[in-house]
Amino acid sequence: MSDTAVEKQSFARYKSNNTIEDGDLVVIYLSRENMSIIRVKYGEYFNCKFGVYKHADMIGLEYGTKLGSNTGRGFLYLLYPTPELWTLVLPHRTQILYIADISFVMNFLNLKPGMSMIESGTGSGSFSHSIVRTIAPTGHLYTFEYHQERVNAARKEFELHGLSDMVTLQCRDVCKDGFDLEDKVDAAFLDLPAPWEAVASAKRAFKQNKIGKICTFSPCIEQISRTVTALNEQGFVDIQMYECLIRFNEIRVIPMWTIDEAMERQRAVEKKRKRAQPRATRDRKDNTPIEQQQQQQQQQQQQQEQEQENNNEENEEGSSKNKNKSAKVEASVDDNNLSSATATPASISASETDEEASATPLASSTPTTASEATLASSSTSSAASASGTTPWAITQEAEPRDKIDPKNVVVTRLPVEQRGHTSYLMFATFTPVVQQTTAAKV
């Protein structure tokens, strides 16, 4: 391209100069949950909670720039519009496919640059953008939608996003009228309420001398059942079904204390608890004199038990200190984090934030020698992998001491499932008809 030629922005590739120009699309990233897309124009403004941004100030900047607001209250990032980001900011006209399903489907369809594919329905064009970027620059997407307004909106977007050359969009009921394509495509994707009605026509659209892949996307198992029947009837093979669920893995750094430090903290927590207790009881006005008396007796008893326990702890501490001076203690940032961390002889859990925690820090037997002490996981995230049994348990490995950061430990945690069932993904393979010959008789 010559220096003077204006490079048209496309979702199918990055701009070679990576620079925001007048008329370009920019994804404004405030946070993972707060993104929007704008077309940059001289004289226009973008308003957000951090203040007002002049579009003119964005022109000439590189994509990826972090831009502070005029109020100094915050900043945003100016990102290049990719299919992944488009999926997060597009105007919804229908339910759409998200990245987990998109990437899974594209991989299982073996999509590559130069391939041809059919898709129906087009819907909001979320998947179409990713397909086109993958099959570009020489591939082609034939996409079908029977809802005229959705067709118009998608057509406009493909044009504005520099994808029209690689897309043929038709307003058509593919279940009734088929795709009207023969011997043309390598793959097919059906996101329709009745995909089984389009299977026979999809079969005719496949390149007849090549192996091809089809995927249908259906939320209900009844749809799957009817589609399997249709796929079998049409001679598709290798029929498989998947479901794509997402679970994020959170990584946190938490402090590690020595036994002495942990006990010190535990004592402080206990002291606070004791100080707070009588006040809480006093504040209750609805107690009868008998209840008050019982509570006082209970408190006295608890106090005595606690004092006894503290004395015992001090004694034990003295002896364990001598036996195992360098044993480490795990301590959780919050109760959810570590309270069920896999116990090893030297692993001791103590709650940091929950000051009412009543568990004593010695969750397991005190190690007797330094060599018995299995230290909690190392400070590298790779060593702290999630265990299969408890979702956020730490895999504890015996590590040479000198490798371990004495103060921090990295844990991974699997929060509850982020996204439930969306749809079943059904894959099948189209195989060319191979002529059968009989071996010549000798």
Q: Where do contacts with ligand SAM occur on this chain (CB under 6 A)?
A: 94-97, 120-121, 123-127, 144-147, 150, 173-175, 191-193
- DSSP readout, 267-327? HHHHHHHHHHHHHHHHH--S--HHHHHHHHHHHHHHHHHHHHHHHHHHHHHHHHHHH-TT-
What CA–CA distance (Å, rounded) separates 211 from 116? Answer: 13
What CA–CA distance (Å, rounded) separates 65 from 22? Answer: 16
CB of 421 to ligand SAM, least distance (A): 15
What CA–CA distance (Å, rounded) separates 371 from 374? Answer: 8
CB of 127 to ligand SAM, least distance (A): 4
What are the backbone dihedrals phi and psi of residue 87, each rounded to the nearest 5 degrees, phi first? Answer: -55, -30
Q: What's CA 401's distance to the chain center, in Å?
A: 34
CB of 374 to ligand SAM, least distance (A): 49
CB of 420 to ligand SAM, least distance (A): 17
Measured from the CB atom, the residue of 144 and 392 that comes closer to ligand SAM is 144
What CA–CA distance (Å, rounded) separates 84 from 11? Answer: 10
CB of 197 to ligand SAM, least distance (A): 7
- DSSP readout, 41-61? -TT-EEEETTEEEEHHHHTTP
Measured from the CB atom, the residue of 72 and 420 that comes closer to ligand SAM is 420
The tokens for 171 are 């307003």
Measured from the CB atom, the residue of 55 and 150 that comes closer to ligand SAM is 150
* SS3 label, residue 264: helix
Measured from the CB atom, the residue of 197 and 352 that comes closer to ligand SAM is 197
Measured from the CB atom, the residue of 75 and 98 that comes closer to ligand SAM is 98
CB of 171 to ligand SAM, least distance (A): 8
Name the nearest CA neighbour of 44 among 32, 35, 34, 52.
52
Measured from the CB atom, the residue of 186 and 191 that comes closer to ligand SAM is 191
